[in-house]
Amino acid sequence: MDAAQLTSSLIRIQSENPPGSTTDLVAFIGEFLDSIGVKNCVVSHPGGRDDLITTEPDPRLLLCGHVDVVPAIPDDWTHDPYGGEVADGYVWGRGATDMKGGCAALLIACRDLVESGVEPKAQFAFVCDEETGGPYGIRSLLAKNLLLPRDCLIAEPTPEMSPAVGQKGLYRVDLSFRGRPGHSSLYPLVGKSAVMAAFDLVGYLREVHARPFPPGKDLQPLVAQSARIFADIFGIEGGDNILTRVMFNPGRIEGGEKANIVAEQCRMELDIRVPWGCPLDDLKRSIAEHAPDAAIRETDVAAPTLTSPDARIVRTVCAEVERVYGTPAVPFLQWAASDAKYLRDKGFDVVEYGPGEIPTLHAVDERVSVEQLEKAVDVYRGVIQAYSG
């Protein structure tokens, strides 16, 4: 079995989150590890939310991946999102890029080293719920001290030549606005609209977004490199704004009772990405001040995090990428969030590097190229061997 075949097998085992069950997929990974003599155990949680960790007694490196995927509606897909079809040089399906391809590449790299007589001095962790904030996955494993601080590689999808060494902060909240109902024909003289209160907060966030937060001098080169990478991946110019401004998305808004009643209630799910140089506590305080009639429930909060480009794990991954591709690797800062933030907060030096067609991440026709998978396996073999010698 090669990396493409294993990726295909993982895609065919559904692990949509929600609902979040990973029991079957984790059992499959456990059987694969058993077959190559790597001891492992399953950590179970309600709803079939299973994690798997290996139990190497003296690990020097942590290798991570999440096995849950976002849901897919098959209507517009070229290939069945859960068929794992290998065609035209790609493995197609939900999770191919995010991130069953990366998990498969880690497993094949481990198998190759074991079969060559190398004992990998690494611990593997495959977690169940990165897509929903990790309460049963990485956060649970950290709370139980099942993962201890060390160098860490997460196989999240990245550009081929660019490991990710940092990511913006995250402030994800549910806001419940309360208004004062009245007859709509008298509004705004009578009544107070919860819907308009939510609208006013969105207006304030547009003002916040318009303000840049310049990074410190030590981060400026990384921001400039990252902007060029964003342009290459997404065709987005002005990519430095992604890293230096507050980005926000009112992803879900629902409220009101009917058109002729001033809205008494409104709920908004809000996702905010926080740049370096923007104090998270100040941002939280200003949002509360501009939503005085809202109850705010925080669902995920993290300040921006960074692993030094001079850290051993970054230098090792970059060296292996250069060996495999023949071109120097260029670290970058990530626009999104992952389990890396929780690991860095606990003292891990973390770098992300993995295969994938990033524009298809969470999108229709998600896929990963067979060539990328094979090269990722080569990179991972080199990294694991560097820590196992």
Phi, psi values for residue 73, rounded to 5°: -100, 120
pLDDT score recorded for residue 67:
98
Q: Where does residue 80 fall: left (phi above 0), alpha (psi -120 to 50 degrees), or beta otherwise? A: beta
Per-residue model confidence as pLDDT tens digits over 251-295 = 999 999 999 999 999 999 999 999 999 999 999 999 999 999 999
DSSP letter assigned to residue 350: E
Strands (E), 11-107: 40-43, 51-54, 61-66, 86-87, 90-92
pLDDT > 90? residue 105: yes
What does R_g of the chain's alpha carbons equal in angstroms? 22
pLDDT score recorded for residue 239:
80
pLDDT score recorded for residue 216:
85
Per-residue model confidence as pLDDT tens digits over 159-186 = 999 999 999 999 999 999 999 999 999 9
User: How far is it, in rounded angstroms, from Cα 6 to Cα 4?
Assistant: 5
Residues 8 and 90 sit within 8 Å (Cβ to Cβ): no
pLDDT > 90? residue 235: no
Residue listed under structure tokens 């897509």: 131
User: How far is it, in rounded angstroms, from Cα 268 to Cα 254?
Assistant: 7
Find the mean pLDDT for residues 48-56: 97
Please count the residues of the chain: 389
Partnered with residue 153 across adjacent β-strands are 63, 351
Please, what are the domains in the chain? 3-167+304-388 (3.40.630.10), 169-211+246-302 (3.30.70.360)
How many CB atoms lie under 10 A from the CB of residue 385?
18
Mean pLDDT of the chain: 96
In this structure, what token pair is assigned to residue 204? 């304030």
pLDDT score recorded for residue 18:
94
Find the mean pLDDT for residues 118-130: 97
Span between the terminal Cα atoms of the chain, in Å: 26
pLDDT score recorded for residue 34:
98
Q: Which of these ranges, 126-135, 168-177, 227-236, 375-384, has the smallest mean pLDDT?
A: 227-236
User: How far is it, in rounded angstroms, from Cα 352 to Cα 332?
Assistant: 10
- Higher local confidence (pLDDT), 227 or 381: 381
Q: Which of 191, 152, 185, 205 is nearest to 340 (CA)?
A: 152
Taking the whole predicted model, whether its pTM rises above 0.85 is answered as yes
pLDDT score recorded for residue 217:
87
pLDDT score recorded for residue 139:
96
Residues 55 and 39 sit within 8 Å (Cβ to Cβ): yes
DSSP letter assigned to residue 268: E
pLDDT > 90? residue 14: yes
How many CB atoms lie under 10 A from the CB of residue 192?
18
Residues 153 and 63 sit within 8 Å (Cβ to Cβ): yes
In this structure, what token pair is assigned to residue 372? 């990328």
pLDDT > 90? residue 133: no
pLDDT score recorded for residue 233:
83
Q: Which of 89, 92, 29 is nearest to 65 (CA)?
A: 29
Cα→Cα distances 87→77, 291, 362, 370, 376, Å: 14, 51, 20, 9, 19
